Amino acid sequence: MIRLNSETPGSILDDVKEGSMVTDTFSKTGLVESIETTDDGFHKIYTFHLVTGRTITVKK
């Protein structure tokens, strides 16, 4: 299981694939259904959509 938070290295965030088991260490845990990556000019924003319908967002 991969922990996703602001302290997770970018190389780990880049390696997460659909079907990976992830957690935000609080209440969101599940398999990744889809991944979106955007850049707002200051941060790279990773949005992981889980099969449970929840979303984990990490800014790096």
Domain ranges of the chain: 2-59
The sheet with strand 21-23 has its strands ordered as: 2-3, 21-23, 29-39, 44-50, 55-59
The CATH class, in words, for 2-59 is mainly beta
| pLDDT reported for residue 26 | 86
- The string over 26-35, giving b where at least 16 C-beta atoms fall within 10 Å of a residue's C-beta and e elsewhere, is eeebbebeee
For residue 17, is pLDDT > 90? yes
pLDDT tens sequence across 18-55: 999 999 988 899 999 999 999 999 999 999 999 999 99
| pLDDT reported for residue 25 | 85
| 54: number of Cβ within 10 Å | 14
Assign 44 to helix, strand or coil.
strand
Report the DSSP beta bridge partners of residue 45. Answer: 38, 59
